[in-house]
Structure 1
Amino acid sequence: MPDALTRVQVAAMVDHTLLKPEATAADVAALIDEARALGVYAVCVSPSMLPVRADGLRVAAVAGFPSGKHHSLIKGSEARLAVQQGAHEIDMVIDVGAAVAGDYNAVLADILTVRQGIADETVLKVILETAALSDEAIVECCLAAERAGANFVKTSTGFHPAGGASVEAVRLMAQTVGGRLGVKASGGIRTAETARAMIEAGATRLGLSGSRAVLEGFPD
């Protein structure tokens, strides 16, 4: 049960993240050092920061970040280059406007283009920006991600003015594709209580920038 989660168990679900536009190579190196100390699963960085020395850690990079309003071929190329430079996982942003308009075929095609641009063994996470979407759109985008061969659906970039992850969105995503795809909660998770609620709702991965503060709220 989530109440019994230990710090080690939660750390194994964490993508320790640094996506600020002002981030430097030194900041990324510090992120990796902290990630090792915390025992997290992966680090998530901007593709322009690759390659990085992160032995023992999974490396994730973003594509089409943060707006999602890049041409699908650009997203696919960005993802492919990131993998060539050492990324094991790609977190891509959908065209949120297409989802808002109900054009789920465009969402599907966008995700397919990125999926086809990277190796089969590369984990693909699809960022929906759930705070900007209706429940119907969240469900349809989750199903599109599944059809396109994604491995995870993810709530948010953490940069959208509408907000980040919510328990309600995570629960809806888990009800739609949980057990078949992973569910990553990301954006605005700053306390152990919030992280625990996301896990209880069905999150199988957490995107955190303040990982240390969150993990310190779980027992050893």
Structure 2
Amino acid sequence: MEINKFIDHTILKATATEADIIKLCEEAKEYNFFSVCVNSGYVSLAKKNLAGSNVKVCTVVGFPLGAMSTPAKVFEAKQAVKEGAEEVDMVINIGELKSKNLKKVEQEITAIKEAIGDLVLKVIIETCYLTRQEIVIASEIAVKAKADYVKTSTGFGNDGASLENIALMKSAVNGQAKLKASGGIKNLDMALSYIEAGVERIGTSSGVSIVKELNG
């Protein structure tokens, strides 16, 4: 199995330096990961360092809280694409979902999807803050808004991915969107259990050690 092709090689911490981003890109090329995932301010740097490789540039929008205004998120997405991002992982407005302003949540996802066109949009629902019912609703809204993926977590909440939540999300999207697990996936066993559960992408900063473990 080419586990490397499931991996979005990720660094999103506030303290990430230019040198860290360059190292991330070098590792992604060496291990042939699907993409690197970086904050939007580093998209052009990542793009430059991945030139000539197959590794895509993924970025995050409205990260990690999701509570920014819709126009700000749309602008961030458009700007990132202009600078070379090929995939966008956006955080939903969690407070609006919990306030049951479901149309607003859907309209925001739709606006970002329209802003990036045919590029891949992954919708981070931040499962750790949601009830089981809200996880289902958020997943259904993402599908309605034409998102390509529903994603578990930012990795900055009080918990990350779980197989139980992936099962809920899988059932909710009913084959109409793909699944990305992220948050706390640190070893090969965990990665394989998520792939077995049906995820098509894994966001992790432990990609190198996971592949090394596989090649043991």
- TM-score, normalized by length of structure 1? 0.92
Are residues 202 and 178 of structure 1, via their aligned partners in 2, closer, same or farther at CA, if it must alter by over 3 Å?
farther
Q: Hey, what's the Cα distance between the residues in 2 that align with 1:178 and 1:44? A: 26
Which residue of 1 is the match for residue 203 of structure 2?
207
- Poorly superposed stretches of 4+, deviation over 4 Å: none
Which residue of 1 is the match for residue 145 of structure 2?
148
Q: Hey, what's the Cα distance between the residues in 2 that align with 1:173 and 1:166? A: 11
User: Which secondary structure does the structure 2 equivalent of 1:194 belong to?
Assistant: helix
Number of corresponding residues: 211
Which residue of 1 is the match for residue 91 of structure 2?
93
Are positions 1:195 and 2:191 aligned together? yes
CA RMSD between the two structures:
1.3
User: Which secondary structure does the structure 2 equivalent of 1:31 belong to?
Assistant: helix
Report the Cα offset of residue 194 of structure 1. Answer: 1.1
Which residue of 1 is the match for residue 82 of structure 2?
84
Q: Hey, what's the Cα distance between the residues in 2 that align with 1:96 and 1:198? A: 24
User: Which secondary structure does the structure 2 equivalent of 1:218 belong to?
Assistant: helix
Report the Cα offset of residue 87 of structure 1. Answer: 0.3
Are residues 166 and 77 of structure 1, via their aligned partners in 2, closer, same or farther at CA, if it must alter by over 3 Å?
same
Q: Hey, what's the Cα distance between the residues in 1 that align with 2:99 and 2:211? A: 38
Greater relative contact order (Cα < 8 A, sep 6+): 1
Tell whether the 8 Å contact from 1:46 to 1:61 is kept in structure 2 after alignment: yes
Which residue of 2 is the match for residue 49 of structure 1?
42
Match for 2:175 among 166, 176, 179? 179
Which residue of 1 is the match for residue 134 of structure 2?
137
> What are the superposed Cα offsets for residues 19-46 of structure 1, whole Å, 9 maximum, x if unpaired?
0111111111110000111111001001
> What are the superposed Cα offsets for residues 134-166 of structure 1, whole Å, 9 maximum, x if unpaired?
1111111111111111100000000012x0111
Unaligned runs of 5+ in 2: none
Q: Hey, what's the Cα distance between the residues in 1 that align with 2:166 and 2:152? A: 7
User: Which secondary structure does the structure 2 equivalent of 1:16 belong to?
Assistant: strand
Instruction: Kindly provide the amino acid, as one letter, of the partner of residue 136 in structure 1.
Output: Q
Tell whether the 8 Å contact from 2:139 to 2:150 is kept in structure 1 after alignment: yes
- TM-score, normalized by length of structure 2? 0.93
Match for 2:3 among 2, 10, 21? 10
Are positions 1:20 and 2:13 aligned together? yes
Tell whether the 8 Å contact from 1:165 to 1:189 is kept in structure 2 after alignment: yes
Tell whether the 8 Å contact from 1:73 to 1:114 is kept in structure 2 after alignment: no
User: Which secondary structure does the structure 2 equivalent of 1:60 belong to?
Assistant: strand
Instruction: Kindly provide the amino acid, as one letter, of the partner of residue 72 in structure 2.
Output: I
Q: Hey, what's the Cα distance between the residues in 1 that align with 2:81 and 2:113? A: 12
Report the Cα offset of residue 124 of structure 1. Answer: 0.3
Q: Structure 1 residues 95-104 or 11-20, which shifts more? A: 95-104
Tell whether the 8 Å contact from 1:99 to 1:133 is kept in structure 2 after alignment: no
Report the Cα offset of residue 115 of structure 1. Answer: 1.3
Report the Cα offset of residue 172 of structure 1. Answer: 1.1
Match for 1:157 among 154, 157, 162? 154
Q: Hey, what's the Cα distance between the residues in 2 that align with 1:190 and 1:137? A: 26
Q: Structure 1 residues 24-33 or 104-113, which shifts more? A: 104-113
Unaligned runs of 5+ in 1: 1-5
Report the Cα offset of residue 50 of structure 1. Answer: 2.1
Tell whether the 8 Å contact from 1:152 to 1:184 is kept in structure 2 after alignment: yes
